[in-house]
């Protein structure tokens, strides 16, 4: 490690146990879990985890805080969110450092993506707190007037994934609180540093119990919270298996559940695409955050006329990507999150190579240099001529691995694109409006990107996955329930 990185004052953030926030108190005593850095597999710190009694205490405090929080005006709730945004902005460099060290996210990715997304979510939902929605309809009887009110559930549990612990957490927390619920946030056991740190910064800002941050393993702490009878609504961002588990664990209580799950997102590149645009966005779509993005474009379906040129250019981009220490400004891609995930990704790569699932065009070999062999680094890996039914073209790898499949036509591309259990995101590169519109109509996914990958608008136009990629509502509305109110008047309504 360079001297500048060794002497970075922010290492001191990890000297103390990172806390949980329970009943307004920062908890650091009791059991802890190690923070193992993805960049060099070193234990660099620890975070507090609860026992069963602490989880019960946290839910009880949240429940107690719920009525008063719901009774505040939207303006008042919004002001709290804006305060949190200010505090986060003042500590932006700390968040960059913690996510880089903990999960290997490049500091620049946190600075230019995760932080702005988090801050804009706080500002956006601070405003939305003043307008929860509701409407009035003509019910067909002049003596009866109608209006609907959107009301909070009370105690909402949000279970977070590890791939974007800060922005997914802050965005969801802001929506939950704006809607008038209290929030219990459960970061992933693989990525607890940044959210625990946030808890330590905002503990004094919110009334006790309004925000709870509870760390710990999903199978133990997550499951206890999910099953807790005083948790009214459960929202999870994670894998399908976990989603199924949550549905099973809440079924007997008929609990409200929202699931944002995985994807194996098709990216169609037609002969008439602008190649510079298609290569640039496809590279970003495949390898951003080391491919650990739920909406990444991990299977690319390329029309034969440009297949050779497109694949040569994508391979060149993959091979020139700066893969290295996430703490360095120059790094474009860091390591993957941890040992199990690293093993899973290599399992897919090794199996694809040994069973001839397409030809290996880039990556696919373990790093041997000192820096990258010390951490959980996987090179940007491209497989060409992959048959659509191969394992690497069907299963969510959630790593920097992309498949290229040649297709003859848009119709063939759409058929392959939709032949999946997933339906999270999709995209097409073409200069034909007709082809773009046809794809937009026929792709079975909650998002369609045309001539780009990723897009702003997650707040204003939140998406829900199709098929097994999601269920249970989007945006702030998923944290609200609708009450219809019917009033019989003695005079016709409106007169
Ligand atoms: P995961 O399912 O392993 O874990 C997600 C969270 O669930 C963690 O906090 C974990 O502790 C918790 N958990 C695990 N078992 C639990 C249980 N029995 N009860 C309660 N909680 C439990 O997912 P991950 O590996 O952290 O994230 C990767 C997955 O998330 C990928 O499939 C990815 O596509 C998906 N993802 C989806 C979106 C989206 O918006 N749709 C966003 C990010 C990630």
The residue whose CA has the least distance to atom 1 of ligand 1 is 238
> What pLDDT score was predicted for residue 175?
98
CA-proximal residue: ligand 1, atom 10 (nearest): 218
The reply to whether ligand 1 has any atom less than 6 angstroms from the CB of 233 is: no
Over residues 334-366, the pLDDT tens digits come to 999 999 999 999 999 999 999 999 999 999 999
Reported as a single tens digit per residue, the pLDDT across 128-172 is: 999 999 999 999 999 999 999 999 999 999 999 999 999 999 999
What residue spans of 104-211 are helical by DSSP H?
107-109, 115-128, 165-178, 193-202
Residue 300, H or E segment: strand 299-303
0.85 exceeded by pTM: yes
Q: What is the average per-residue pLDDT within 276-303?
A: 98
Residue 101 three-state SS: helix
Token pair of 169, please?
Answer: 């957490």
User: Per the residue annotation, which of 260, 317, 357, 396 is the catalytic one?
Assistant: 260
> Which atom, in ligand 1's list, is nearest to the CA of 241?
2
366 burial level (CB within 10 Å; 0-12, 13-18, 19+) = middle
Cα(80)–Cα(164) distance, integer angstroms: 23
Nearest to 340 by CA among 403, 399, 295, 402: 399
In ligand 1, the atom with minimum distance to the C-alpha of 337 is 25
Measured in Å, residue 259 CA sits from the centre of ligand 1 at 9
Q: Is the CB of 472 under 6 A from ligand 1?
A: no
Residue 260 known to be catalytic: yes
The confidence score (pLDDT) of residue 133 equals 95
Distance CA 297, CA 83 (A): 36
Q: What is the per-residue pLDDT across 67-77, written as a single tens digit (0 to 9) for each?
A: 999 999 999 99
189 flagged as catalytic: no
Residue 289's pLDDT is: 97
Question: Could you please report the per-residue DSSP string of 427-446?
Answer: EEE-S-HHHHHHHHHH--SS
pLDDT band at 272 (very low <50, low <70, confident <90, very high): very high
Place of tokens 């695409």: 273
How is the beta sheet containing 25-27 ordered, strand by strand? 25-27, 20-22, 211-213, 182-186, 155-159, 233-237, 256-260, 470-471
Q: Which domains does the chain have, with CATH numbers?
A: 3-261+471-481 (3.40.605.10), 266-457 (3.40.309.10)
Catalytic-role residue among 96, 189, 294, 357: 294
pLDDT tens digit string along 407-435? 999 999 999 999 999 999 999 999 999 99
User: Both tokens of residue 413?
Assistant: 């591309």
Q: Residue 495: is its pLDDT beyond 90?
A: no
Which atom of ligand 1 lies nearest, measured to the CA of 469? Answer: 41
Q: Could you write out the DSSP letters of every residue in 348-395?
A: HHHHHHHTT-SEEEE--S---SHHHHHTT----EEEES--TTSHHHHS
From 50, 193, 218, give the residue whose CB has the most ligand 1 atoms within 8 Å, as the site to mutate: 218
* CB-ligand 1 contact for 285 (6 Å cutoff): no
Regarding the beta carbon of 242 and ligand 1, being less than 6 Å apart is answered yes
Atom number, ligand 1, closest to the C-alpha of residue 188 = 9
């Amino acid at each position: 490690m360079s001297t500048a990185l060794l002497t970075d004052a922010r290492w001191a953030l990890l000297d103390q146990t990172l806390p949980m926030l329970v009943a307004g108190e920062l908890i650091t005593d009791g059991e802890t879990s190690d923070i193992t850095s993805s960049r060099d597999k070193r234990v660099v710190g620890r975070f507090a985890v609860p026992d069963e009694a602490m989880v019960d205490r946290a839910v009880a405090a949240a429940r107690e805080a719920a009525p008063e929080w719901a009774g505040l005006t939207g303006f008042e709730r919004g002001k709290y969110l804006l305060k949190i945004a200010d505090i986060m902005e003042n500590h932006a460099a700390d968040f960059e450092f913690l996510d880089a060290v903990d999960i290997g996210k490049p500091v620049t990715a946190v600075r230019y993506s995760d932080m702005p997304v988090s801050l804009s979510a706080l500002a956006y939902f601070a405003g939305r707190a003043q307008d929860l929605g509701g409407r009035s309809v003509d019910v067909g009887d002049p003596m009866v007037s109608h209006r609907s009110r959107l009301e909070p559930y009370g105690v909402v549990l949000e279970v977070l994934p590890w791939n974007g612990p800060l922005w997914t957490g802050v965005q969801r927390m802001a929506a939950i609180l704006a809607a008038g619920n209290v929030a219990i946030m459960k970061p992933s056991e693989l990525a607890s540093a940044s959210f625990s740190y946030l808890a330590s910064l905002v503990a004094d800002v919110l009334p006790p119990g309004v925000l709870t941050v509870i760390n710990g393993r999903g199978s133990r702490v997550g499951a206890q919270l999910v099953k807790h009878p005083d948790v009214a609504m459960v929202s999870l961002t994670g894998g399908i298996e976990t989603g199924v588990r949550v549905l099973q664990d809440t079924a007997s209580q008929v609990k409200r559940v929202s699931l944002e799950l995985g994807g194996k997102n098709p990216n169609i590149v037609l002969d008439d695409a602008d190649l510079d645009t298609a290569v640039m966005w496809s590279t970003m779509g495949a390898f951003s955050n080391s491919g650990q993005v739920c909406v990444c474009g991990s299977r690319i379906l390329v029309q034969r006329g440009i297949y050779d040129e497109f694949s040569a250019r994508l391979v060149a981009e993959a091979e020139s990507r700066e893969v290295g220490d996430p703490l360095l400004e120059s790094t474009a891609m860091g390591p993957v999150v941890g040992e199990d995930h690293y093993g899973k990704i290599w399992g897919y790569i090794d199996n694809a190579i040994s069973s001839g699932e397409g030809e290996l065009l880039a990556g696919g070999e373990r790093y041997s240099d000192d820096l990258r062999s010390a951490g959980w680094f996987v090179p940007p890996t491209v497989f060409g001529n992959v048959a659509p039914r191969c394992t690497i073209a069907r299963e969510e790898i959630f790593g920097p691995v992309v498949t290229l499949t040649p297709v003859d036509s848009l119709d063939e591309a759409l058929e392959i694109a939709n032949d999946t259990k997933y339906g999270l995101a999709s995209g097409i590169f073409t200069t034909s409006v007709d082809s773009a519109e046809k794809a937009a109509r026929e792709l079975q996914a909650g998002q369609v990107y045309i001539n780009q990958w990723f897009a702003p608008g997650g707040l204003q136009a939140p998406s829900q996955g199709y098929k097994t990629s999601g269920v249970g509502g989007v945006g702030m509305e998923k944290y609200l329930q609708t009450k219809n109110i019917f009033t019989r008047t003695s005079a016709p309504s409106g007169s």
